[in-house]
């Protein structure tokens, strides 16, 4: 059985108290209300890691993740945060290659390989993002585009390493726009990703990889999207900032 995962990507949101309030509310709802067997990951900005880690202590299914990490292990890289630091602050996941990082911070496929390497070497599970912009979707070449992103960044890892990676398919045209991919569009792409992984690593490995959908996933569409056979959860942006909405998405399985 593949792991079901719902990860919240807070992006650059929440002052100190807001982050603590959000975390406490999520933790309390998850403790008090029945939820299916879903791994929950909170990915706050770096400065919240320590506090969030304390607040989730003792709630087995809630985990901590970073939103990014350096491609370097340590040293004179002012402003950067290493995968080793994330791990030492209690993180077990890290988002790599979010489209906002690719777009605004010019992160290349090659750089993302190095970041994924750092994550794996430090015991973090990368949540590796891929996804096409609107013009590629309209041109009908989205599957090739996404497969190329995965090949370029991930296909030099070993089978054992690949098994630790979570993939997040996030069509750029659906991120923060309120436009969601239909559940059929999500399923088609997730199946294409899985078959691409199978082509390189074999069916058994491909069937172990959790593939999350991201892009305006909300309580009112999560159930339908998560019902698709190749959709193993979600990477949630906007709706992860509202505790009730985020937990409702967790409960959509």
Tell me how far, at minimum, the Cβ of 198 lies from ligand PGA, in Å.
Answer: 25
What is the Cα–Cα distance from 110 to 126, expressed in whole angstroms? 15
Return the H-helix or E-strand segment holding 43: strand 39-43
Whether 98 sits among the annotated catalytic residues: the reply is yes
Q: Is 238 in the site for ligand PGA (CB under 6 A)?
A: yes
Binding mask 170-209 toward ligand PGA (x if CB under 6 A, else -) reads x----xx---------------------------------
**Which of 136, 214, 226, 252 is in the footprint of ligand PGA by CB under 6 A?**
214
Return the H-helix or E-strand segment holding 245: helix 243-250
What is the Cα–Cα distance from 67 to 10, expressed in whole angstroms? 8
Two structure tokens written together for 195: 């078959």
* Binding range to ligand PGA, per CB under 6 A, among 140-148, 159-167, 184-192, 213-221: 213-221
Tell me how far, at minimum, the Cβ of 107 lies from ligand PGA, in Å.
Answer: 14
Is 65 within 8 Å of 43 (Cβ atoms)? yes
DSSP string of 152-218, one letter each residue: HHHTTS-HHHHTTPEEEE--GGGTTTS----HHHHHHHHHHHHHHHHHHH-HHHHTT--EEEESS--
Residues of this chain, 2-61, that bind ligand PGA according to CB under 6 A: 9
Q: Is 217 in the site for ligand PGA (CB under 6 A)?
A: yes
Partners of 43 in beta bridges: 9
Tell me how far, at minimum, the Cβ of 42 lies from ligand PGA, in Å.
Answer: 13
Return the H-helix or E-strand segment holding 5: strand 5-9
What is the Cα–Cα distance from 145 to 162, expressed in whole angstroms? 20
* 3-state secondary structure at position 251: coil
Whether 143 sits among the annotated catalytic residues: the reply is no
**Which of 96, 127, 235, 249 is in the footprint of ligand PGA by CB under 6 A?**
235
* Binding range to ligand PGA, per CB under 6 A, among 132-140, 149-157, 187-195, 229-237: 229-237
Q: Is 237 in the site for ligand PGA (CB under 6 A)?
A: yes
Q: Which is nearer to ligand PGA, 150 or 174 (CB)?
A: 174
Tell me how far, at minimum, the Cβ of 118 lies from ligand PGA, in Å.
Answer: 21
Q: Which is nearer to ligand PGA, 40 or 236 (CB)?
A: 236
Q: Which is nearer to ligand PGA, 97 or 238 (CB)?
A: 238
Is 231 within 8 Å of 168 (Cβ atoms)? no
Q: Which is nearer to ligand PGA, 176 or 202 (CB)?
A: 176
Burial of 60 (0-12, 13-18, 19+ CB in 10 A): exposed
Residues within the interface to ligand PGA (CB under 6 A): 9, 170, 175-176, 214-217, 235-239
Give the active site residues: 98, 170
């Amino acid at each position: 059985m593949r792991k079901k995962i719902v990860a919240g990507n807070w992006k650059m949101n929440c002052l100190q108290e807001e982050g603590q309030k959000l975390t406490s509310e999520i933790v309390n709802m998850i403790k008090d209300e029945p939820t299916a067997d879903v791994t929950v990951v909170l990915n706050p900005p770096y400065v919240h890691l320590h506090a969030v880690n304390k607040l989730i202590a003792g709630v087995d299914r809630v985990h901590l993740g970073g939103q990014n990490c350096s491609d370097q292990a340590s040293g004179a890289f002012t402003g950067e945060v290493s995968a080793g630091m994330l791990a030492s602050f209690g993180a077990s996941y890290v988002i790599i290659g979010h489209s906002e990082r690719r777009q605004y911070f010019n992160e290349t496929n090659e750089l993302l390989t190095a970041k994924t390497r750092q994550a794996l070497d430090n015991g973090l599970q990368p949540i590796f993002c891929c996804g096409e912009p609107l013009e590629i979707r309209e041109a009908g070449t989205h599957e090739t585009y996404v497969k190329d992103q995965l090949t370029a960044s991930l296909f030099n890892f070993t089978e054992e390493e690949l098994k630790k990676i979570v993939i997040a398919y996030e069509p750029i045209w659906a991120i923060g726009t309120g436009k969601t991919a239909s559940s059929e569009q999500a399923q088609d792409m997730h199946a294409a990703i899985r078959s691409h992984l199978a082509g390189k690593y074999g069916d058994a490995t491909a069937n172990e990889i959790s593939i999350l959908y991201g892009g305006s996933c909300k309580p009112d569409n999560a159930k339908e999207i998560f019902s698709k056979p190749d959709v193993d959860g979600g990477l949630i942006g906007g709706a992860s900032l509202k505790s009730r909405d985020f937990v409702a998405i967790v409960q959509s399985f």
